Amino acid sequence: MEKFEYANPASLQEALSLLGSTWTEAAVLAGGTDLISLMKDGVYAPKRLVNVKTIKDLSGLTAGKEGVRIGATYTIDDLAENPTIRLQYPALYEAARGIASPQIRNMGTVGGDLCQRPRCWYFRAGYGLRPVAGDKSLIAVGENRYHAIFGSNPVYFVSASSFGPPLIALGAKAKIASPDGKRDLPVEQFFVVPQSESDREIALKPNEVLTGIEVPLTANLKSATYEIREREAIDWPLATASVALKMKGNTVESGRIVLGAVGPTPYVATAASQMLAGMAINEQSAEQIGKAAVADAKPLSQNGYKVQLAKVAVKRALLQATGQLKV
- Residue 9's pLDDT is what? 97
To the question of pTM greater than 0.95 for the whole model, the response is: yes
Contact present, 110 and 213 (Cβ < 8 Å) = yes
The answer to the question of residue 289 being in a domain is: yes
- Residue 117's pLDDT is what? 96
- Residue 98's pLDDT is what? 93
6: helix, strand or coil: strand
Q: Kindly report the backbone phi and psi dihedral angles of residue 83, in degrees, each rounded to the nearest multiple of 5, phi listed first.
A: -65, -30
Residue 265 domain boundaries? 220-327
H runs (alpha helix) in 228-301 = 270-275, 283-293
Strand ranges inside the chain, DSSP E: 5-7, 27-29, 48-51, 61-64, 67-71, 132-133, 136-137, 173-178, 181-186, 209-216, 221-228, 239-248, 251-260, 267-268
Listed in sequence order, the residues at least 6 apart from 11 whose beta carbon sits closer than 8 Å to its beta carbon are 55, 57
The answer to the question of residue 95 being in a domain is: no
The answer to the question of residue 325 being in a domain is: yes
Contact present, 160 and 118 (Cβ < 8 Å) = yes
CATH value at residue 265 = 3.30.390.50
50: helix, strand or coil: strand
DSSP assigned state of 30: S
- Residue 4's pLDDT is what? 97
The answer to the question of residue 232 being in a domain is: yes
Per-residue pLDDT of the chain (327 residues), as tens digits, is 899 999 999 999 999 999 999 999 999 999 999 999 999 999 999 999 999 999 999 999 999 999 999 999 999 999 999 999 999 999 999 999 999 788 889 999 999 999 999 999 999 999 999 998 888 899 999 999 999 999 877 899 999 999 999 999 999 999 999 999 999 999 999 999 999 999 999 999 999 999 999 999 999 999 999 999 988 777 889 999 999 999 999 999 999 999 999 999 999 999 999 999 999 999 999 999 999 999 999 999 999 999 999 999 999 999 999 999 977
Q: Kindly report the backbone phi and psi dihedral angles of residue 78, in degrees, each rounded to the nearest multiple of 5, phi listed first.
A: -60, -40
Domain tally, the chain: 1
The answer to the question of residue 172 being in a domain is: no
The answer to the question of residue 227 being in a domain is: yes
The answer to the question of residue 249 being in a domain is: yes
